[in-house]
Amino acid sequence: MKLGSLRFNPPIVMGILNVTPDSFSDGGRFIGREAALRRVREMIAEGAQIIDVGGESTRPGAQAVSVEEELERVIPVIEAIRSESAIPVSIDTSKPEVMRAAVDAGASLVNDVRALREPGALAAVAERGVPVCLMHMRGEPRTMQQAPRYDDVVAEVLAFLEERVAACEAAGIPRERIILDPGFGFGKTLDHNLALFRALPRFAATGLPVLVGVSRKSMIGQVLEVPVAERLAGSLALASLAVWLGAAIVRSHDVRETVHAVRMAAAVRGESPQQED
């Protein structure tokens, strides 16, 4: 499977780079060009094949960030990464202004927790001609975990993503440039998250690459009763299961360990190594 310069056979790992002061797991650790670059170099050495740069936390209760502040956080970092590496960079944003500026600075993928629902976002991605990851989120980060309810979480999330794919195609974004993300932890209870995880084959059956982002998330803490710092084992278990169930991309804080887990799961599935053209 291939999307632009990205290939998903076997599945790949997306390394998380939060240049924010308030992200739930690593907020504040990688603010600043040099700290961010050091982390990027580490993740590349550990096997990351995409770096996902985010300048606004989307954890439950997170506060909104202005366009100007988000640009100040992410653009220098993207430019710095691009100055020394050809690794694909994803911009984790919902703001069309940030999408355009990030792509112009060297990002090659837009990763949007709001699935291009903000005014102008569809046009921004269509104009720049880059792939996009569409994620499902019910509500907004500040309130999304306040008693979310679904009649059928799997059917409703699938229907939402199918509608957003149709909106993308209508806006001039071809289906071949679209990735799907069920949005684990974004307006979902533990039971919702587990049901969606079991249903990953249904998302993969759309024929579109599926991204799974569960690294260190609260669903692990709820099942294992451990704090964020002790969720590596749970994260790796879910990464392996995600690949087994059809995920193409696993988004992770712990790149080296996740790359190892993903490769083993892919080997058992019989996925062939990536080949150069």
Strands, E, within 71-139: which ranges?
89-92, 109-112, 132-135
Instruction: Compute CA distances 253 → 16, 17, 48, 72, 120, whole Å.
Output: 5, 8, 10, 23, 30
Q: What percentage of the chain's residues is helix, strand, coil (to nearest 5)?
A: 45, 15, 40
How far apart are alpha carbons 146 and 148 in whole angstroms?
Answer: 6
Q: Which residues are within 8 A (CB) of 251 and not within 5 positions of it... i.e. 6 or more apart?
A: 13, 14, 16, 52, 211, 212, 213, 215
Q: Which residue bears the tokens 């080997």?
A: 267
Which one of the listed residues 217, 231, 263, 269 is annotated catalytic? 217
Note the maximum CA span of the chain.
Answer: 49
Burial of 165-191, coded b for 16+ CB within 10 Å and e otherwise, reads beebeeeebeeebbbbbbbbbbbbbee
Helices (H), 129-175: 153-171
Please report, as a single letter, which amino acid is at residue 260.
Answer: H
Does residue 149 have an active-site annotation? Answer: no
- At 174, list the tokens: 């071809």
Does residue 251 have an active-site annotation? Answer: yes
Which one of the listed residues 177, 216, 251, 263 is annotated catalytic? 251
Q: Which residue bears the tokens 């001039």?
A: 172
Q: Which of 230, 227, 234 is nearest to 184 (CA)?
A: 234
Catalytic residues: 217, 251
